[in-house]
Every structure is written in structure tokens, then in C-alpha cells.
Structure 1
Amino acid sequence: MEVEDVRLAVVHQFAAGVLPDRASLAAALATDEASVDDALDVLADQRHVVLREGRIVMAHPFAAIPLGFSVMGRETLWWGGCAWDSFAVPHLLPDEPEVLVATRCPGCDAALAWVVGRQDPPEGEEVAHFLVPAAHIWDDVVHTCGNQRLFCAEDCVDRWLEVTGHDKGDVFDLATLWRLARGWYAGRLERGYVRREPDAARDYFRSVGLSGPFWGL
């Protein structure tokens, strides 16, 4: 068993709507849980999975904990890791050409939902607000993802910032969020997937219309 085998088992179990754990991964790979633990530690160091007290809580774009979004496919319901990850699901899964992404506006608590597909961005005047700059995403990635949210409008962002005391991050429209999500995880379900290093990430951000110091540009 290789570390890559465990990575693939994790993301494919998530994709199938199963929350992966040591037991399910060990059974799927015909190995022991101690070997799975060792591989998960490596994958966490490589930022392929996020562990909390040894438990897998995220393998982007999937989450095992609620972070503000649900993503409903034809037969499967997932927790969305954040606005970015939720919009990425139909682009990653070949059998899910569109999904229903649902959340609440943190500023006014209004229910929000979009059908997100591969061909065009969803329509709407809502905005995304990302609190944590790109260079600090992995300082506390669960906190980061929990604060990549969708709001009714920028007025709701400002209201939420006033209540929480946070400084304003970056605000952009649904079309930009869709472009950001569209190709970010390409190849993640395949063997040999490589995460983008900072230079490649900055080029990608620029290609989808995101710029400025928040994005390392």
C-alpha cells in the first residue's frame, strides 16, 4: 500500500457520500489501521487531508463537518467545505453535471440556494466574501473555509463584519467564484494528482479574474 492509495481511497469515499475513517480505509485497501494512520499523517503534512484529533475532517472539496454549505447531487448529499469547494463539486465529479448548493447569508440569515453546473455560472446578485488572504489559508484551514461564505449583497457582508469585528477580506461575484472553482481541483480523483505550488496558484487566480495583495498578486 502506498500513500497515494490512501489519498485516492479518501477522496473516492467522500465522492461516493461516505465519510472515510481508519476502519473503512483499512478495509478498502486490505491493510491495517496503523498503516492508514501513518499515511494520513503524511497526507496531512502534504495538505491533501485535514485531520483533527486523528479524524479526517476535510479532503477538499469535501468536508466531514458542517461549515455552512450543503451540496445535493442526484443521489448524494455532501457537506460543502466552503463556497469555493461547494461550487467545485460538479466540475470534479463526472456523474454530477449540476448540484444544488444551499447555505444561509451570515449577514441576515436569509436562505440562499443555486443550481451550479459546468457550462455557465449561476445567476444572482449575491456575493462571495473570503476573510483570510490566500497566503494564510493553511494557518488554520478549517477557520479559513468556515469564513469563505456567500452573502445576499455587500451590505450584508458589512453588517456581518460589524457584528464579528473582522476586517474586510475580498468580495466578488458569483461568476468569479464559479470560475475560481471550475478548474482548481482538476485531476484530484486521479492517481498522481499534484497540488498547485504558490506560483501556480497565483497564475490561476489571475486567470479567473482575481488580483491584488489578498491573492498574493
Structure 2
Amino acid sequence: MPTDPSAEQVEDLRLLVFDQLATLGRVETAEQLASTLHLTASQTAAGLRALHASRDLVLDDADHIVLAHPFATVDFGFSVMGRATIWWGGCAWDAFAIPHLVPAEPETLVATRCPRCRTPHAWNVTRVAPPTGDQVVHFATPMARVWQDVVHACRRQRIFCDDACLDAYLVDHYPDEPGFRFDVPTLWRLAGHWYEGRLDRGYQRREPAAAASYFASVGLTGPFWDTTAPKAAP
């Protein structure tokens, strides 16, 4: 049997990973994935690395899946509770995207804590209308730099109680990186269609120009959202 998986086998692997995360909130081990798809261990490992290279998922140094946006396999500060499944959201953006992406879960409870004062916050997130809330969403890493270290960037997409909590947090943690702040309804609009089609065969990520157009359509413009540099958004 060939060592390297075919393009079709890599796509089968991608679909299996995303199906498991969408329906179960977790993903099987590489050995279990290989067994399900009738692949060798080396084919599965090569397939996962190919998906990492194409930015369909993110592996850690041990080749374990950490992120398959919008799903995470570890705690990034956001839990997403549906009727039958509980997920980790990879960031504020991803957590709000899950109910838009998973058809069986039209309503979820997204929960987090303010990174500054640890006050808990929760929102009922649906596909119908943005949730209420006057909290402040903050993204620290400009879109063009996200994939230089996507795990680091995702951990810095958080929600704060208000501007005062965010301002104090910035002074303590990264005073020279103001990032970009916006409101919860804008976050909901950003998340709404960003991952559309990701659970389907043949999904293609947006090119930088299309990403910038999408950001503008939800009211997010300016240098922070410029994706024309080589390192673009997830």
C-alpha cells in the first residue's frame, strides 16, 4: 500500500475529523481514524500533516489535533453547550461560529470569563439574531499575522466585561499591541458565515481578497483586517 495518502483519502480524513468534532465534540486517536478509513498509520499521519499544511487543522508538536476551526480539542477559554454536545471553541470567533455551522444545534450557550477580572459571561447564540450584551470583544493579533502562530493568536481573541477591563488588561499584558475592539453583535455577524461549507466535501478556504471582502461586509475594515500579506486569517 502506498505510503502517502491520495488527495481523496486526505479529504476523507478531513471530513471524518470534522464530523466527529461537530457531532461529538471530540476526535478519535490517529489509530482509530486510520482503522475507520482503512488507512495505515503512516498514511494517516501524512494526511494529518497535509491538513495542517493546508490550514484545515492545527497539530501540536506531537502531531495531535489542537484546532480544527471552529472546533478545539483543548480549553481556549470558551465552552459551547448545545442540546446534545459540548464543545471547546477555539476563540471568541470560533465559539460564536459553532451554532451557525452545526445544523443539529440551532442554539447554544457560549460561556467564558473576562480575562482581566474573571467575571463569568454567557450568551444564548442562535442563527436567528445576535445575542444581547454590552461586553467588549478584543482581537490582539492582526489578521495578516494570525498564521505565524495560530494557537497564540486564537488565545488572544477574547471577550472582556467592558473597556475598563480591557484597558487594564492591555497595560498588564501587551501595552504596545492595541489590537482591535468591537461589540458582541459584530462578533455574531463575523462568525455567521465565515466557516460556511466547512463540513462539506470539497470545502475551500477563502483567498485573502475574499476574506477582506467578507470582513468589510460585517463592518470590519482597516489595516487590522488586511489579509493581503502571506499570513492570513484561519
Instruction: Using structure 1 for the length normalisation, give the TM-score.
Output: 0.97
Task: Identify which of 52, 55, 62 aligns with 2:64.
Answer: 55
Q: How far 1:65 sits from its partner (Å)? A: 1.1
Residue correspondence of structure 1 range 60-139 to structure 2 within 5 A: 60-139=69-148
Tell me what 2:41 maps to. Answer: 33
Alpha carbons 2:125, 2:131 under 8 Å: kept: yes
CA separation in 2, counterparts of 1:127 and 1:6?
37
2:212 to 202, 212, 215: 202
The answer for the alignment partner of 2:20 in structure 1 is 13
Runs (4+) of structure 1 moved beyond 3 Å?
A: none
The answer (yes or no) to whether the contact 2:26–2:73 under 8 Å persists in 1 is no
Which residue identity does 2:109 align to in structure 1? Answer: L
1:34 deviates by 1.2
- Which residue in 2 is equivalent to 1:157? 166
Name which of 40, 48, 52 aligns with 1:44: 52
Q: Identity over aligned residues, as a percent?
A: 53
> Is contact 2:117-2:165 (8 Å) kept?
yes
- For 1:165 and 1:194, the matched residues in 2 are separated by 34
After TM superposition, give the deviation of residue 18 of structure 1 in Å: 2.3
Structure 2's unaligned 5+ residue stretches are: 1-7, 228-234
| Aligned equivalents of 1:20, 1:178: Cα separation in 2 | 30
Give how far 1:31 is off: 1.6
Q: Are the equivalent residues in 1 in contact too, given 2:138–2:179 (CA < 8 A)?
A: yes
Q: For residues 123 and 211 of structure 2, what CA distance do their matches in structure 1 show?
A: 26
**What is the count of residue pairs matched by the alignment?**
217
In structure 1, stretches of 5+ residues that fail to align are none
- Determine the C-alpha separation between the residues in 1 that align with 2:31 and 2:111: 31
Q: TM-score, structure 2 length as denominator?
A: 0.90
